[in-house]
Amino acid sequence: METILEQQRSYHEERERTMDAMVKEILHKKTGHRETINGDHRLKNLHDRYVESTIRLKELYEDKDGLRKEEIAALSGPNEFHEFYARLKQIKEFHRKHPNEICVPMSVEFEELAKLRENPAEDYTTPVEFTDEEGYGKYLDLHECYEKYINLKGIEKVDYITYLAIFDHLFDIPRERKNSEYRNYIRALLTYLKDFVNRVKPLLDQAQEMASAHQEFIKQWEAGTFPGWPKETGGALTNVGAHLDLSAFSSWEELASLGLDRLKSALMALGLKCGGTLEERAQRLFSTKGRTSLDKSLVAKKGGNKAKASTQQRHKDIAAIEAQVYRFANITGGTRGATIENVTRRAARAAGERRDDSGDESDASAAPDVDSDDDEVPYNPKNLPLGWDGKPIPYWLYKLHGLNISYTCEICGNYTYKGPKAFQRHFAEWRHAHGMRCLGIPNTAHFANVTQIEDALALWEKIKHQQENERFVAENDEEFEDSQGNVVNRKTYEDLKRQGLL
């Protein structure tokens, strides 16, 4: 077990090396989008490691259990030599019990990080996963959210490209349409946006962004200026109520001229039921004129206020989620523009292909003497791959490329590859690299053409054994010279020395 002072020294070293690695990572010039994202994730991991080691170091300096003070007193006391030899004995006892214990210096780990930073082509690890539609963080993949959006009741059905442009226009949706299904939809949308931003911009402080968005939302909600959620008509009079002097009115028809909102406010001030038509409200209010006690049938139930408060709180929760969606949609504004361009380009390409196909069909129909077999499914009994013209490639070309030979890789989950070219190329692709990573084996050149899990594990054990044998062993590799100039290893030298033959 390491001493308290040794742990402090180790944490100080880790903080200094981590800080140095972060500075080098920031100064390193990134050549592409993929390398930029990977570099940001490496920087985020280094920052988290620096914060964690700082917290642990602070706890050691606080010395709540008093162990650090006791250790310093033992080292500086009158029996410091006794403490020294006691610790030396513990170290020898530890190495006697664990003779094959390997201690890897901290510098080796940071040297490996520096190599990956300088040679990104050799880094086969992916710190973050993206879908094919996202293009490693270049585009958004909102297909699942789009499916939920078009399934909302009362929502105008739009295509995917239009949805990408208006998915943050939540203020255009009427308030009465914002029910529980709508809340589930915006929660799913917010979850995806937060996850995407976390993968593309790992250094962004999402907690601070959400707190800032919530503060702005509270101000706008209290002022009644939040988009899509205006204040109810009547303002404070509608919620609290304002008393009305009935002595100036001689009939309920005169009260009806005040309008629904003013009658509702007066009924709420008296604690009466405020629903119904204009005539019913006016008659209900006029019936209280000159009375000291109110009819119990006209008094509003207390549960109505609770239900209204619950509804207002639900609306406020939905609006708070919308505020966060607005903030993260603003953060991903540039990515959304690139996504719209990408989807539009792909749709135009597909439309062009469809036009070409329709043109070919029209030409075929215009010429009745041309064989109509081109419009049918091509005859392909040997299941050959299709060429650029949509017809099977020649069989001699199929055999020339070796596509009739199948290669199965157990590491890739028994995936089958057609032809030696695809088989050789798959060793550097993501599926094989993921399988090797699941086995805990680095995907290096040593494991080329290895497809069986058992063979890969056996080769990895052999490589580790070779590396262990090549490791420097002081007892055998350290050289000593006796008084006559003979060079021997350390073990022989110590044997001769104990026998007095030197």
The burial class, CB within 10 Å (0-12 / 13-18 / 19+), for 157 is exposed
Nearest CA to 193 out of 314, 319, 336 is that of: 336
Confidence of residue 294 (pLDDT cuts 50, 70, 90): low
pLDDT value at residue 459: 93
Nearest CA to 204 out of 82, 374, 37, 88 is that of: 37
pLDDT tens for 413-422 read 999 998 999 9
pLDDT tens for 375-384 read 456 777 777 8
Confidence of residue 295 (pLDDT cuts 50, 70, 90): low
Overall average pLDDT of the 284-299 stretch = 72
pLDDT tens for 3-58 read 888 888 889 999 999 999 999 888 888 888 888 888 888 899 999 999 999 999 99
Backbone angles phi, psi at 132, to 5 degrees: -65, -35
pLDDT value at residue 126: 72
Please tell me what DSSP assigns to residue 406. E
Contact 407, 416 (CB under 8 A): yes
pLDDT tens for 70-98 read 888 777 777 777 778 888 888 888 878 88
Residues 114 and 22: their CA atoms lie apart, in Å, by: 11
Contact 12, 29 (CB under 8 A): no
- pTM equals 0.55
Residues 96 and 104: their CA atoms lie apart, in Å, by: 19
